């Protein structure tokens, strides 16, 4: 206690220098916490969107993730309902599960005969009610633009498309898509008159074309045997799915309709079984249990488990990018604080050389001198950390309630800028302890040099 009291008095002896050093520490800690809180919010937002779309875990046919996107029938899970029932009844998995639902991914070409346009799409066969329950997952309280899928309670031929698909298929008017300009007129074909046989075929097709203003489309896909199969579908809604690349190819339909399109009258299959957990922290336990089931109960099925990080590569890339930037900023600020405090303590040692000699002369050991200067650095670290944390929390509160927004790369929605500091104990304690350690490390060399001064040389220092 005496050492701490002396250390505090020594800091107060030169208030200007102490305040300058504290300001450097406070500004550095605030910068680290603000960016760390911002990074955490971005990562949690990306995770929320990924888990809402694909679940935490997926059971797939082995190698489907690498090779099956173009041939879903070759990697289908035949007895999927039995697997779902066993997973739901499993005593280990059951308490962790929020939603377990099958899905069928397929590619095809969607066309609007009335407008004479078509485009390639990526279709998903879903169980609408279960998929809507997945969209409700929001473990971190993030701003989410996920809306219930409009397929609930609709006919089996109903589909939902992205606004980008609606724009290309010229369905903006019937579907009431906002900010959708009419497509430019196609140039007229050059050349002579159309041959009679082609004209007759065109007239025959036009007899089955829906009238303008209707929202029926045709989808062409390859069935399980590679032959083309066509389904007539009714578009019930166009939705903006959040980022443009996916919005331009998105199509969602009922699972039974997708299965008929690919498998026809054969036994239906799915390409994945999605598992959404109550909390992301349960993933290691759930994944381990699934691996155990696949190695025992389902060992003949040739299945594997994929995590949402693998299914959504942009999530892992974003986490790695944020971590690298945070590490760079923390290291840069740490070096600045290191040299600032080291310079402050070195100047203090020089100014108090006679005092050091006097203390040594009256019996204070070298360890006592070292401890005195380290206590001063520790007090600077504790005070700077406390003020820095409080300042960062205040700034985070102001930013969170400022209404500032930003649009992430590839997205079309503007998300509020949030700083997530309070409640993130790892960020708070990690930054505070790290800054305090940097303070002690920077003071060690000046304190050690002061403790090794010869008493006679120190007393005659001018």
Q: Which residues lie below 8 Å from residue 396, measured CB to CB, with a gap of 6+?
A: 33, 34, 37, 419, 420, 421, 422
The predicted pLDDT at position 195 comes to 52
> 455 is written with which tokens?
């008493």
Q: Is residue 294 part of a domain?
A: yes
Same structural domain, 349 and 433: yes
Ranking 131-135, 214-218, 315-319 by mean pLDDT, the lowest is: 214-218
Query: In sequence order, which residues have a C-beta less than 8 Å from that of residue 347 and are 6 or more positions away?
Result: 17
List residues bridging with 306 in a β-sheet. Answer: 58
What's the domain range around 151?
A: 63-182+195-301
Q: Give 163-218 as a DSSP string.
A: HHHHHHTT-HHHHT-SS-PPPPPPPPPPSSPPPHHHHHHHHHHHTTPPPTT--EEE
Please provide residue 100's backbone torsions phi and psi, each rounded to the nearest 5 degrees: -130, 120
Same domain, 21 and 86: no
> For the chain, what is the domain count?
2
Alpha carbon distance 221, 121 (integer Å):
10
Q: Is residue 202 part of a domain?
A: yes
In a domain, 310, yes or no: no
- Answer whether residue 245 shows pLDDT above 50: yes
- 291 shares its domain with 377: no
> What's the token pair of residue 349?
């040692």
Please give the residue that has the higher pLDDT: either 193 or 281: 281
86-123 pLDDT per residue, tens:
999 999 999 999 999 999 999 999 998 878 888 999 99
User: Is the same domain home to 293 and 364?
Assistant: no
Of all residues in the chain, what percent carry a pLDDT higher than 90?
37
Question: In this structure, are 199 and 238 located in the same domain?
Answer: yes
Same domain for 96 and 34? no
Give the tens place of pLDDT for each residue, 50-78.
899 899 999 999 989 888 877 888 888 98
Whether 106 and 132 share a structural domain: yes
Instruction: Classify residue 358 as exposed, middle or buried by CB count within 10 Å of its CB (0-12, 13-18, 19+).
Output: middle
380 inside domain = yes
- Same domain? For 108 and 205 the reply is yes
Structural domain contains residue 311:
no
For residue 54, being part of any structural domain is answered with no
Q: What is the pTM of this model?
A: 0.79
């Amino acid at each position: 206690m005496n050492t701490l009291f002396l250390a505090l008095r020594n800091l107060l002896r030169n208030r200007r220098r102490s305040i300058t050093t504290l300001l450097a520490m406070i500004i550095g800690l605030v910068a680290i916490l603000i960016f760390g809180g911002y990074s955490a919010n971005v990562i949690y937002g990306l995770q929320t969107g990924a888990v809402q779309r694909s679940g935490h875990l997926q059971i797939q046919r082995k190698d489907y993730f690498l090779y099956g996107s173009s041939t879903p029938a070759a990697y289908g899970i035949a007895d999927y309902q039995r697997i779902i029932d066993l997973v739901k009844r499993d005593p280990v998995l059951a308490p962790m599960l929020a939603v377990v639902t099958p899905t069928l991914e397929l590619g095809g070409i969607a066309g609007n005969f009335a407008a004479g346009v078509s485009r390639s799409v990526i279709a998903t066969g879903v169980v609408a009610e279960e998929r809507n329950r997945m969209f409700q997952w929001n473990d971190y309280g993030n701003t989410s633009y996920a809306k219930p899928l409009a397929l609930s309670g609709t006919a089996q031929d109903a589909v939902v498309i992205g606004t980008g698909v609606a724009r290309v298929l010229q369905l903006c008017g019937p579907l009431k898509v906002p900010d959708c300009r009419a497509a430019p007129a196609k140039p007229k074909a050059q050349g002579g008159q159309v041959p009679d046989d082609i004209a007759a075929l065109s007239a025959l097709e036009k007899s089955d074309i829906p009238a303008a203003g209707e929202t029926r489309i045709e989808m062409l896909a390859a069935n399980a045997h590679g032959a083309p199969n066509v389904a007539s579908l009714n578009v019930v809604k166009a939705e903006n799915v959040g980022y443009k690349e996916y919005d331009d190819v998105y199509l969602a339909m009922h699972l039974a309709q997708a299965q008929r399109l690919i498998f026809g009258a054969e036994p239906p299959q799915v390409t994945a079984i999605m598992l959404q957990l109550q909390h992301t922290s349960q993933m290691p336990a759930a994944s381990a249990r699934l691996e155990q089931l696949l190695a025992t109960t389902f060992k003949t099925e040739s299945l594997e488990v994929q995590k949402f990080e693998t299914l959504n590569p942009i999530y892992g890339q974003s986490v790695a990018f944020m971590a690298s930037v945070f590490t760079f900023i923390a290291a840069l600020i740490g070096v600045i604080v290191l040299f600032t405090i080291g310079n402050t303590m070195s100047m203090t040692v020089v100014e108090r050389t006679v005092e050091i000699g006097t203390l040594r002369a009256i019996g204070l050991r070298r360890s006592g001198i070292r401890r005195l200067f380290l206590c001063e650095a520790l007090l600077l670290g504790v005070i700077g950390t406390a003020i820095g944390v409080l300042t960062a929390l205040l700034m985070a509160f102001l930013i969170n309630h400022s209404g500032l927004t930003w649009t992430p790369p590839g997205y079309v929605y503007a998300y509020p800028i949030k700083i997530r500091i309070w409640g993130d104990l790892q960020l708070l304690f990690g930054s505070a302890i790290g800054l305090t350690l940097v303070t002690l490390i920077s003071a060690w060399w000046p304190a050690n040099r002061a403790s090794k001064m010869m008493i006679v040389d120190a007393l005659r220092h001018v």
